[in-house]
Amino acid sequence: MKEDMRYIVSFFFTAVLLAGCNARHVTEIIRLQDAASNKKEQVCSIRSINKRFDVLLAAMRDQTIDAYRTKEDFLEHFGEPIFVKRYIDPDEHAERWLYRYAEDFWKSDKIYIYFDAQGKVVQWEYQPPSAPEPKKP
């Protein structure tokens, strides 16, 4: 009889908890589970982005970056940018692409590539990593 009562109480408690979960929370839980199971894919993607950025940094340092004149050139040799900004009223450029290491935003070198409306490189800009903030005593 005691075991039956425990079973009923635990069933009731579980039912109450599950009733409090709406579809949004279930979706979030599933998304988190998917992210955890895709950890290997994420690590491989980060490594790939970082390797391609190393190649772009090398091209900038040895001054061969000017050989890449179109969006297609950059996509083929350096992959997708981390961020793309499109300009609504393009004066000198229509898009700006940002390349950097995948994980470090503030501590990473950055290279911005500017394209005109035809997808041709009009300018590129290198930005060294930000200096760390001094620690306050």
Same domain, 83 and 59: yes
Section 120-136 average pLDDT: 80
62 and 87 belong to one structural domain: yes
What pLDDT was estimated at residue 103? 85
pLDDT of residue 20: 54
Domain count for the chain:
2
**pLDDT higher than threshold 60 for residue 14:** no
**In terms of domains, do 61 and 105 share one?**
yes
Q: Determine the average pLDDT of the residues in 76-94.
A: 87
In this prediction, residue 65 carries a pLDDT of 95
Is the model's pLDDT at 96 over the cut of 70?
Answer: yes
Mean residue pLDDT across the chain: 80
Q: Helix, strand, coil shares of the chain as percentages rounded to 5?
A: 50, 20, 30
Which pTM value belongs to this model? 0.66
Q: What is the pLDDT of residue 136?
A: 55
Domain residues for the domain of 102 are 48-127
C-alpha pair distances (Å), 137 with each of 1, 7, 18, 134: 65, 58, 49, 9
Are residues 63 and 111 both part of a single domain?
yes
99 pLDDT more than 80 = yes
